[in-house]
Amino acid sequence: MDIKAPEWMEYFLDVSVALTGFSRFQLRGTGQASLYFDTIVSVIGEDLFGELLQTFHGIQSKAQDKKEESILTEGLRIEILGSEKFGPIARNIIKLWYVATWYQLPADWRDTFGTKENDQTFIPSSAAYPEGLLWQTIGVNPPGAKPLGYGTWAEPPSVSLS
C-alpha cells in the first residue's frame, strides 16, 4: 500500500468531510490537510490509517452506488465511530481538525492495538491552531491569532452570549 499516492489524500478528505461536517473546500482552505494526513500516519502508521480510509471509502462507494445517504450515515456510525479499532482514531481526527491537537489514544485502545511510539498529545504545528475549525464554528477569531484589524474594537461583537 502506497499511502502517499494521491487517492489516499482524497480518501482522507472524504472521511474528514463526513466527520467534521465541513466541505472539502473549507478543509483544504485551512492549509492543514497535508499536515494532518502526515501527522496521523506518523502516529498510527500507514497500515492502520490505510485500513480506516479503505473502510470508509467502501462505505462511501456503497452509499453512492445505491444513492442512499443513510448507508453512509449508518456505516460511519457503526463501522467507523462505533468500532473499537477505528472509533478512537476517528474521534481524534475530528479533534485534530477542530482544535488542532492530536490527543493520545485511550489506554484501552493502546492495550488492545498496541502502543504507538508517537502517540502522545501534541499540536502538530503552530500554524494549525489559528486554522482550527472551532473558530469558524463559533464565529470568532482565535485568541492571540488572526487579529480583526484596526478599529474593529469600535464595532459591537458579532457573537452574542444569549
**Per-residue pLDDT reduced to its tens digit, 30-60:** 999 999 999 999 999 999 999 999 999 999 9
- Which of 67-71, 111-115, 152-156 is predicted least confidently? 152-156
Residue of 45 and 162 predicted with greater confidence: 45
Q: Using an 8 Å Cβ cutoff, are 55 and 79 in contact?
A: yes
pLDDT band at residue 115, thresholds of 50, 70 and 90? confident
pLDDT band at residue 5, thresholds of 50, 70 and 90? confident
Span 119-130, average pLDDT? 93
The alpha carbon dihedral of 60, 46, 33, 79 has a sign of positive
- Measured between alpha carbons, how far is 140 from 158 in angstroms, rounded to an integer? 8
- Measured between alpha carbons, how far is 119 from 122 in angstroms, rounded to an integer? 9
The structural domains of the chain, with segments of one domain joined by +, span 6-154
Smallest CA-to-CA distance from 29 within 143, 136, 142 is with 136
AA identity, residue 70: S
Q: What is the pLDDT of residue 128?
A: 93
Span 1-10, average pLDDT? 82
DSSP three-state, residue 59:
helix
Residue of 22 and 116 predicted with greater confidence: 22
Span 120-131, average pLDDT? 93
Residue with C-alpha cell 502538530? 124
Helices vs. strands in the chain: H and E counts, helices first:
8, 0
- CA atoms within a 13 Å half-sphere pointing along the CA-CB vector of 80: 28
The CA–CA distances, whole Å, from 68 to 49, 62, 74, 75 equal 26, 8, 10, 11
- Measured between alpha carbons, how far is 148 from 152 in angstroms, rounded to an integer? 6
Cell of 152: 474593529
